[in-house]
Each structure stands twice: as structure tokens, then as C-alpha cells.
Amino acid sequence: MENQAMNVVTEFLTAVQKGNTAKLGALLHPEVKWSQPGDNVVSGFKSNADEVFQMVGQMFELSSNTLALTQIKVLAENGNSIACLVHWKAIRPNGQVLDIDNIDVYTVGNGLINNVVVYSEDIDVENEFWRR
């Protein structure tokens, strides 16, 4: 199917913005591989959807539920791989702000996201924000 990968990733990012966890779960392969950059409490390799949802839950906890995908700037396609330039904002209870771009690369197979690699605009800022 032409543009299937683009459609899946667009649906996924829209679900992220709307907080539609049912849709997110339906679009992630149960054994999705996810690489989150940095050296902090949420970074590292996740080997399935449950671990990804645990990571996201931790992000929401640390940011007092303020984490938001505020902008999808670019979606670029290469076969079943989609690179996305996205903007995130969050505020910790101590007032610390995360206001950052990331480049996410999603790989889609059989209508599901099966691999994600996240690149940070400024890993030092993310490490500081996502510290324990």
C-alpha cells in the first residue's frame, strides 16, 4: 500500500497529541524496539510496547502530566521509514522547563510501528530534565 508508513506514523503522532492511548497501542507492534537517547531515568532501549508505555508513564509522572507534543514540523518518507522533526514541551514541579526538538525515525511493517529511534536536539538538556 502506497504511503502506508506515512499514514501509520501520522495517525500515531496525532494520537500522541490527543492522548489517545488506545490508538497508540493499536499502532505499536507488541514487540516494538525503541531507542530513547541519553543517560537519564527514561533513556535506553525498550524491547516491547509495555516498556515504551512504562517509559511514557514515567515521563508524565516526572513532568506532572505536562508533557506535550506541541508541533509536528516535518515528516519525511523513505520507503517504510519515516523521519519526523517534532517539538516537545514539559514543566517539572520545580519549574524546570523542557522546550526541545527531537528527530524521531519510525519504521513501519504490516501496518504497525516496529522500530523507533529518537534523536535529541540537546541531550544535555534532556538528561537534566529527565534526571531522578
- How far, in Å, CA of 24 to CA of 26, rounded? 5
Which pLDDT score is estimated for 33?
A: 98
CB-based contacts of 109-115 (< 8 A; 24+ apart in sequence): 109/29, 109/80, 111/4, 111/8, 112/8, 112/27, 112/28, 112/29, 112/32, 113/8, 113/9, 113/12, 113/27, 113/28, 113/29, 113/32, 114/29, 114/31, 114/32, 114/33, 115/32, 115/33, 115/34
Put simply, whether the predicted model's pTM sits higher than 0.85 gets the answer yes
Which pLDDT score is estimated for 2?
A: 59
Which tens digit of pLDDT belongs to each residue from 87-111? 999 999 999 999 999 999 999 999 9
Q: Give pLDDT < 70 ranges for the chain.
A: 1-2
